[in-house]
Amino acid sequence: MKYDYLVVGAGLFGAVFARYMAENGKDVLVIDKRDNIAGNIYTEEKMGINVHKYGAHIFHTSDKEVWEYVNRFAEFNNYINSPVAVYKDELYNLPFNMNTFSKMWNIKTPAEAKAIIDKQTQEEKKKINEKKGTDTFTADNLEEQALSLAGRDIYEKLVKGYTEKQWGRDCTELPAFIIKRLPMRFIYDNNYFNDRFQGIPMGGYTKMVEKILLLVGDETVSGSITVKTGVDYYDFVKLEGNVPAEPFESVNGDSFGKILFTGMIDEFFGYKLGTLEYRSLRFETEDLPDVDNYQGNAVVNYTEREIPYTRIIEHKHFEYGQGKGTIITREYPADWKHGDEPYYPMNDDKNNELYMKYTELAKEFPNILFGGRLGQYKYYNMDQVVRAALDMCASLKD
């Protein structure tokens, strides 16, 4: 068949893009190498619980248009992300707010909390300056930066171990710029995000993406979307060297006017300019049919370094599940190597420069677009993905 677009990747970016095009009269083929749609926001129903298979996902945005867009495809519940942090036998609310400070120092007022933080940050800066023999404070590593922003108690109990696990390195070996700010709230408010809109699609993200891709319901649009999972672009599209031969065709005789690629941009070009780096994650999921409520919260962070995972997710709490049994996932940060899931782009100078070189190369292929967190090598939240996909579509002439 003759398609206007081949969309590589049935994640959120690919789905929003395909939908826009179909609504504008285009015929789109979407392929994904995984056996399921929805990319990393895929949720799988087990024991009546929607399990966030590739990590916990909470939708939050201040972009009203994006919020209205996703609400066309799902009803969102009123979930507010309020994680809890466990440090040894102590338990703290996140983000850092008056509940955290009150528990840590047995105080009540914002003035008391500010005074303690001020005193501790001044002391730490003084100590660091004395050690370096200078009067002007500059943070030479993440530890110094965090101590200067939050003081010793918050750093030791809530920042140090968690950050070291995330990056697989000591805070003294990590660059200061990783933590630009440590947001603190001097009110009693455990809402992790500052955004105006927040929630979880009732019934899971997969159902929402099914609707975007016109796989359920009886909506009609002027174009069409065909979805094929378990299809890898590299086996599917006729290539000339590393890039698709023009006119674009698949091995089974389909043809495409243009391609949207939401996989890894460096892989697309056969890594010819070098390899972009990522951080990865390993998930260990456990079904607990005899436990109804394991930890009393969807997200519990473990902030000591000695515990190898960074957090435990209890999926049923995202949708206020009341049924029997529960499912938990321990999340372990991991180094990334070829073949692992690339979760977080490492947007440091070195990798950003390499990515810019790939974007220059991509300009030689005006009929191929690159989108999403892998195609654009950018840590995007879901709302930013929707925004970026809609903006890309709107910017296209035809």
Ligand X SMILES: Cc1cc2nc3c(=O)[nH]c(=O)nc-3n(C[C@H](O)[C@H](O)[C@H](O)COP(=O)(O)OP(=O)(O)OC[C@H]3O[C@@H](n4cnc5c(N)ncnc54)[C@H](O)[C@@H]3O)c2cc1C
Q: Per rule CB under 6 A, is residue 336 in the interface with ligand X?
A: no
Residue 223 or 375: which CB sits closer to ligand X?
Answer: 375
Least distance (Å) from ligand X to the CB of residue 42?
8
Which of the ranges 6-14, 144-152, 245-253, 359-367 carries the binding residues for ligand X, by CB under 6 A? 6-14
Q: Per rule CB under 6 A, is residue 382 in the interface with ligand X?
A: yes
The SS3 call for residue 15 is helix
Least distance (Å) from ligand X to the CB of residue 379?
7
Phi, psi of 237 (to 5 degrees): -95, 140
Handedness of CA 262, 266, 271, 275 (dihedral sign): negative
Q: Are 202 and 315 in contact (CB under 8 A)?
A: no
Which of the ranges 7-15, 209-217, 304-312, 358-366 carries the binding residues for ligand X, by CB under 6 A? 7-15
Contacts of 249 (CB under 8 A, 6+ apart): 237, 238, 255, 256
Q: Are 233 and 33 in contact (CB under 8 A)?
A: yes
Q: Per rule CB under 6 A, is residue 8 in the interface with ligand X?
A: yes
Give the separation between CA 350 and CA 197, rounded to whole angstroms.
Answer: 35
Least distance (Å) from ligand X to the CB of residue 38?
7
User: Could you say which residues in the range 256-295 bind ligand X, by CB under 6 A?
Assistant: 262-263, 281
Which of the ranges 63-71, 158-166, 229-237, 315-323 carries the binding residues for ligand X, by CB under 6 A? 229-237
- Which member of 343, 352, 357, 362 binds ligand X (CB under 6 A)? 343
Handedness of CA 128, 131, 132, 135 (dihedral sign): positive
Q: Per rule CB under 6 A, is residue 326 in the interface with ligand X?
A: no
Helix (H) or strand (E) holding 3: strand 2-8
Residue 90 or 235: which CB sits closer to ligand X?
Answer: 235
Least distance (Å) from ligand X to the CB of residue 275?
15
Contacts of 148 (CB under 8 A, 6+ apart): 121, 124, 125, 128, 137, 139
- Which member of 4, 32, 277, 319 binds ligand X (CB under 6 A)? 32
Q: Per rule CB under 6 A, is residue 51 in the interface with ligand X?
A: no
User: Which residues face 248 on adjacent strands?
Assistant: 256
Q: Per rule CB under 6 A, is residue 162 in the interface with ligand X?
A: no
Give the separation between CA 152 and CA 136, rounded to whole angstroms.
Answer: 20
Least distance (Å) from ligand X to the CB of residue 393?
14
Which of the ranges 182-190, 245-253, 348-356, 381-389 carries the binding residues for ligand X, by CB under 6 A? 381-389
Give the separation between CA 155 and CA 303, rounded to whole angstroms.
Answer: 10
Q: Per rule CB under 6 A, is residue 29 in the interface with ligand X?
A: no
Least distance (Å) from ligand X to the CB of residue 15?
7
Q: Per rule CB under 6 A, is residue 325 in the interface with ligand X?
A: no
Give the separation between CA 262 and CA 388, rounded to whole angstroms.
Answer: 12
Which of the ranges 18-26, 28-36, 88-96, 145-153 carries the binding residues for ligand X, by CB under 6 A? 28-36
Q: Per rule CB under 6 A, is residue 33 in the interface with ligand X?
A: yes
Q: Per rule CB under 6 A, is residue 58 in the interface with ligand X?
A: yes
Q: Per rule CB under 6 A, is residue 39 in the interface with ligand X?
A: yes
Q: Per rule CB under 6 A, is residue 66 in the interface with ligand X?
A: no
Place of tokens 């190898």: 308
Contacts of 297 (CB under 8 A, 6+ apart): 82, 83, 84, 314, 317
Q: Per rule CB under 6 A, is residue 321 in the interface with ligand X?
A: no
Q: Are 261 and 368 in contact (CB under 8 A)?
A: yes
Q: Are 96 and 158 in contact (CB under 8 A)?
A: yes
Q: Per rule CB under 6 A, is residue 12 in the interface with ligand X?
A: yes
Q: Which amino acid is at 344?
A: Y
Chain-centre distance for alpha carbon 35 = 21
**Contact positions vs ligand X (CB under 6 A):** 8-14, 31-34, 39-41, 55-59, 232-234, 262-263, 281, 343, 372-374, 380-383, 385
